[in-house]
Structure 1
Amino acid sequence: MEKPSATATPTPVAPAEPAAAAKPSLSGETVTDSFGNPDFYVTVAGDTLAMVAEVYGFSEAKIAEFNALQPGTPLTPGTRLRLLPAGPGIGAMGPATADANGIPTSYTVVPEDTLAGVSYRFNVTNDQLAEANKVPYVHEVGNVYFIEPGRTIALQKNPVDSRSGTGKAVENSWGRGVFYTTVEGDSFDSVGYQFRVGTDELLQYNPALAEPIPAGTTIRLIAGELPLPGAQGTFTADADGVPLTYTTAPGDTESGIKARFGVTILAEANRPSSGGSAVWYRYLQGTTGELVPGQTISVSLDEPINKPGA
């Protein structure tokens, strides 16, 4: 008797995943700042607050708040929607200026401002703030540069020649430019924005420098040979002129040394070979960060100095 054929077990099929909702697209004009950050959007037929909010990464309620609207308000074509706060807010209560397009251009810091408040109000990142103000890092001068009451800070950068910035740069081990050889189209602004050094500093480090800057000009980007307050000592450098070691003088401080030589964290090049201290070099007793004079310390990660801690 013939056996009945086995019935094949059907292969289980996974339930279909729901199709991801397509992100809406917008065809209206976006008005951007000097960094390319979107600050305004001009609506076209069919746009909704919800669509605009999703495209630009906000909640509908937040876009409505920026524009003094209620969520769900129908949009008329040609409406210019703000994509950043309309005025002062927590952490950024001071006065600001704007250009003819409404793009914020400068801000005067008031007491109780915060860096987060300023960057949020004006839709710029910390790094962009540092670039606009031609300072190496957003936390400058004891972490108060951008929140020092009374200081007016730039929120945008000026246009620069598209040919600029392609010259040869010599950097130290911290990634900071030490020298730069210019190309056609370079200017105080283009060099300043790229290497985070202000025009006043460029002229201080390069007294003969003037605009227009001839192509092929080698510009010093750090103080280096020029003593600064808190860094009055002598230094050694490699064949390219990049500082390697520094011998402290009376009155020297870590902040002064870092400013003079474009150092990020001085301790990283001067870790103790033993002991529990963060650095091996010594401070004067009873001072606020003043170093003992006559110590030769490293200002280069490529050639660190490691000695037993004090």
Structure 2
Amino acid sequence: MPDGFDAPNRPGAANPATSSDRFEARSYTVQPGDTLSGIAGRYGSSVGAIAQANGISNPNLIQVGQRLNIPGASGPSAPATGSRSYTVQPGDTLSGIAGRYGTSVGAIAQANGISNPNLIQVGQRLNIPGASGPSAPAPAPASRSYTVQPGDTLSGIAARYGTSVGAIAQANGISNPNFIQVGQRLSIPGGSAPSTPSGPVTGPGPVRGPSEPGTAGGVSVQQLRAIMPNLSEARANELLPHLNSAMAEAGINTPRRQAAFLAQLAHESGQFRYMEEIASGAAYEGRADLGNTQPGDGVRFKGRGPIQLTGRANYRAAGRALGIDLENNPTRAADPDVGFRTAAWYWNNRNLNSYADAGNFDAITYRVNGGYNGKASRDAYYARALQVLGG
């Protein structure tokens, strides 16, 4: 796995569109940022129909430049009507802008030379090709103020106020979004009322979960065990409050996000059987790329947590982001109240919610694993989780 995250030593039909007989097939070339579901939506077809017509076995994996036959296409829902101009506001995302103007992330990125669709700047002027006019041209709300509490992360604050990490970082001159200080006063641009008015999560002690499993937007014991059938009911009841709390903190709060997150964790941890790497960690000794510069660092900072945190530098970064001194207390990363939070930190640090929202599970697998090891297992968990959670 990249960036010092290593897994334990374990092996890693849709129906065609019913209206396809009413329209002739069309041809479409995949653009950067496209998803099969987005293409299907634009052309009034279905993911299953397009996948079947093009022999695609994994609808989450399409290639830029790939030529697709679109059966049952009624024509794109937002035909090009000339470009419009738009200035990025606090809290904006490229996918949100594309949705408002009836175009695609790939089209906007291509028109503006954007290599990373997840990185746009407040005040940036965008050319919107094929724009049909904004569906909800509401002005950005006024800024709010927030004081950082113990256990806060910038991603958690952003999720609570309905804005983005980038917008808050830019508004407050924060160069490292993973490093904020307790007591720091933040301006929250474009912030709505907080979605969870309860008090902040406290750490490094035990983290309170929801009042009962499955509440506050989390998953239930029954759902968790349906996704991970080898997980005992007693173990599920023990872990669930910490899992739900971490997901809430990180904005993993929709069925698609939760399904993707739980599928990766199920594979990485063997259905929560492994919260610490089986090997001793001696193989990491002297790994400067992991920050292991002191004698004994390899064993001391071995992989821990459901997505395994590995190396002194990663323990330090996660600890700073979560307000927990993991560098001096590394075994805490194997405890459920901390381990699920480090997994959620890793998830948000790589912006994996955006890929979950787009249904691009293969991209998540690559960013978690550094490749596609255990792909069949991960995909099976994901399909089951989507079915259980209704994603």
The two structures have a TM-score, normalised by structure 2, of: 0.21
The structure richer in helix per residue is: 2
Task: Kindly indicate whether structure 1 or structure 2 has the higher relative contact order, using CA contacts under 8 Å at least 6 residues apart.
Answer: 2
Structure 1 or 2, whichever has the larger Rg, is 1
The two structures have a TM-score, normalised by structure 1, of: 0.25
The structure richer in strand per residue is: 1
